[in-house]
Amino acid sequence: MLVPVVCGLVLGLGLWCLLRAFLVPATPLDRALAALAQPRPLASGADPGGGVGAVDDLAGRFGAWIMGVTGTDLHGLATDLAVLERSQEHHLVQRMRTALLYGAFPLMVWAFTRLGAGIDPAHPALILVAALGAGVIGWFVTDAQVRSRARQRRREFDGALVTYVSLVAVLLAGGAGIQQALTDAVDTGRGWAFLVLRRALTDARIRGVSPWEAFDEHGTRLGLTSLVDLAATMELGGTSGAHVRESLITKAKALRTHQLAALEREAAGRTSAMVGPTGLMLAGFVILLIYPAFQAILNL
């Protein structure tokens, strides 16, 4: 009696998560664009969708309650979550939802097979073990997705930073001051990378600190190594426009070379990964060719 009840509860939770995933309205485009245009500081508790709705607020409160009760610590993902502008509370709720979805799948297959076709594919205990294993996999899949998306954003930031540094160097060569060159260059760009740079410059202006100090703080908090290196280069250059321009030109060349080397390594890795599938396909083709002759020899 206990097994059907547990299966029904988990199945109901999985169906509820599916309905919530598809029925929750997305953030309107105009609100998302307006939120991106606002120079607000990044924080670990930033809303992940660019707007705070009733469902998101409820999910955040539920995640905060779970973290307080269980003592969950997500500091290992704090940097990646900050890059994605997702709070730890919302990430915990996403973890639980993904785990429930993964765990409900074996139970749904078992229920549909048992009730629809009248076939018992396996013992209920094995189904429960499979559901628990799938739930654990879903729990860790969410973390892997966060790390993958954060790495992608950092790669995009490195590419945008090369463009930004080159623009700053051009403006400095045209006679602009350091502050003016940094501000004018960041105003010409769009996207998340330029938004981070714009927030750093706004933060530096409000707090009365140098731009490279703000770059270093934001780069350290978001795990942007290239931005931290840029801050160190600008700090070594000092306040002299000529020295800063030379340092930025050198830094832009170094970033561009590093980016090209990373792309070449990625292309080489993908090429090497294709060796296995190509070899298997060739082996299958050879087996397909020689199988009729081998079968004819056996029939002699």
Indicate whether 51 pLDDT > 60. no
Whether residue 106 contacts residue 131, with contact meaning beta carbons closer than 8 Å, is answered with yes
Alpha-carbon gap, residue 293 to 204, rounded angstroms: 77
What confidence tens digit (pLDDT) does each residue in 109-165 have?
Answer: 877 777 766 666 667 778 888 888 888 888 888 888 888 999 889 888 988 888 888
User: What CA–CA distances, in Å, run from 246 to 6, 165, 212, 240, 251?
Assistant: 67, 11, 16, 10, 9
Q: What is the pLDDT of residues 176-192, one digit of tens each?
A: 778 888 888 888 888 88
Please give the pLDDT value at position 65.
53
Q: Which two tokens stand for residue 43?
A: 């924080």
Long-range contacts of 244-247 (CB under 8 A, 24+ apart): 244/172, 244/178, 245/169, 245/172, 245/173
233, 251 in Cβ contact below 8 A?
A: yes
Percent of the chain with pLDDT over 90: 2
Euclidean distance between CA atoms 22 and 14, whole angstroms? 13
pLDDT(283) > 80: yes
Q: How far is CA 4 from the centre of its chain?
A: 38
- Phi, psi of 277, rounded to the nearest 5 degrees: -60, -35
pLDDT tens for each residue of 75-110: 678 888 888 888 777 777 888 888 888 888 888 887
DSSP-based three-state secondary structure for 57: helix
Residue of 259 and 287 predicted with greater confidence:
287
Q: Which one has a higher pLDDT value, 227 or 245? A: 227
- Which tokens hold the place of 264? 């070449």
- What pLDDT is attached to residue 119? 66
pTM, two decimal places = 0.63
**What Rg do the C-alpha atoms of the chain give, in angstroms?**
27
